[in-house]
Amino acid sequence: MKTIITIGRQYGSGGREIGEKLATDLNIPFYDSKLLEIAAKESGISQEFFESNDEKPVNSLLYILSTTYTDDNLPFNHRLFLAQFDAVKKVASEGSCVIVGRCADYALRDNPDCINIFIHAEIEKRKKRSVEQYGIPEKRAHETVIRYDKQRASYYNFYTCKKWGNADNYDLVIDSGKLGTEKCVELIKKYIDLKQAD
Amino acid sequence: MKTIITIGRQYGSGGREIGEKLATDLNIPFYDSKLLEIAAKESGISQEFFESNDEKPVNSLLYILSTTYTDDNLPFNHRLFLAQFDAVKKVASEGSCVIVGRCADYALRDNPDCINIFIHAEIEKRKKRSVEQYGIPEKRAHETVIRYDKQRASYYNFYTCKKWGNADNYDLVIDSGKLGTEKCVELIKKYIDLKQAD
């Protein structure tokens, strides 16, 4: 049985670290920015463009205009999204994996093996983490956390027509600030065991 | 160490059944409508009024008017809410327990022992459950599920100034339609073990 885990996460919640640790424990591949490389390779779009547009919201005016475009001249953000969307489906078709971000839950919405997880934490804990773990200057921590969350929400809401962080979208949601990242990994492993048991 | 569990739930998700089973397994008291009896006894308000107004949204015009009222002549819904709020705090102060609904997470928001859980499931599964378990006529299942969810959301959003079903409010959110009620109980017990471990 395949184990496909998608993880959405608030900025600074440790969702990426949880995903990495989980993938290591389960001995399966982990994807986040790696997907960009795959998408770049498959689409022929330069990887630099992916990196500079990663999970950034699309310009909705451009999107509207895009409806009259052919595949070859779709607005650039939209082409990047579609290339990532295909990359998510490709790696999931290849076997068990953990995928962080990139609307992977939506790309794999018809895949019965998929377990969709969201990790959040209260903002003060995320600010602290962004300073200590990601090296964000303390005076910019609040603004950084808010800005990244807005970007992720905007990107997700635009492409999926669902609401980022709404409990309804996910099989499992955990507050990592209350439980700690190590224990989140343990709880997710328990979830997988229960889900896959007869 | 006390174990205080609050459970918010979409109508038909099996949240109440999960709470009851959890309380039985942990050998601790379970409260849902029982809280009405306690609130009635403590407040001197007839239990019948509690039952007919249980988790129903307040009339917001009345609420605005209430700001000029004294405690004794507050709008009735508001007095009922406050009496239940006190009842939640009272039972939690007495020892470990499971409390379903009644904005218990908000009443106990400063209690470090409290674990706040939300149970949801996709609407078709909840309609099926409401027919099979609660005896709702099939042709009224959709309307019933929607109406109860709206009532609960309105009640919760009004009194807590938070958004019912938003992942941010809860320590743990589970889709019971995906996992099944028995396994939800197992997962919550694992969460409690992890949370309370050193």
- For residues A178 and A73, which has the higher predicted lDDT (pLDDT)? A178
For testing contact with chain B, the best of A173, A185, A186 (most B CBs within 10 A) = A173
Mean pLDDT of A37-44: 70
- Which residues of chain B are within 8 Å of residue A118 when distances are taken between CB atoms? 167, 173
Query: Which among B170, B171, B175 has the least Cβ separation from residue A171?
Result: B175
Query: B171 and chain A: CB distance < 8 Å anywhere?
Result: yes
Global pTM value: 0.87
- pLDDT over threshold 70, residue A104: yes
CB–CB contact B183 A171 (8 Å): no
What is the amino acid identity at position B42?
E
Predicted pLDDT at B122: 94
* Count of CB pairs separated by less than 8 Å, A with B: 70
B178 contacts A167? CB cut-off 8 A: no
For residue B194, which residues of chain A lie inside 8 Å, CB to CB? 179, 183, 186-187
Q: Are A144 and A136 within 8 A, CB to CB?
A: yes
Pairwise pLDDT comparison (B55 vs B34), residue with the higher score: B34
Whole-angstrom Cα distance, residue B28 to residue A90?
A: 48
Task: Report whether pLDDT(B35) > 60.
Answer: yes
Q: Compute the distance between CA of residue B44 and CA of residue A119 in angstroms, rounded to an integer.
A: 44
Helix ranges restricted to H, B7-165: 15-26, 34-43, 47-53, 60-66, 76-94, 104-107, 123-132, 141-160
The 3-class SS string of chain A reads CCCEEEEEECCCCCHHHHHHHHHHHHCCCEECCHHHHHHHHHHCCCHHHHHHHCCCCCCHHHHHHHCCCCHHHCCHHHHHHHHHHHHHHHHHHHCCEEEECCCHHHHCCCCCCEEEEEEECCHHHHHHHHHHCCCCCHHHHHHHHHHHHHHHHHHHHHHHCCCCCEHHHCCEEEEHHHHCHHHHHHHHHHHHHHHHCC
B12 vs A87: which has the higher pLDDT: B12
What tokens appear for A168 in the block? 């309804």
Residue B130 pLDDT more than 70? yes
Rounded CA gap, A198 and B56, in Å? 40
pLDDT at B19 over 90: yes
Find, among B131, B165, B128, the residue nearest to B149 by Cα.
B165
pLDDT at B154: 87
CB distance from B113 to chain A under 8 Å?
no
Q: Give the pLDDT score at A69.
A: 43
What pLDDT does residue A67 have? 46
Model confidence pLDDT, tens digit, residues A41-54: 777 766 666 666 66
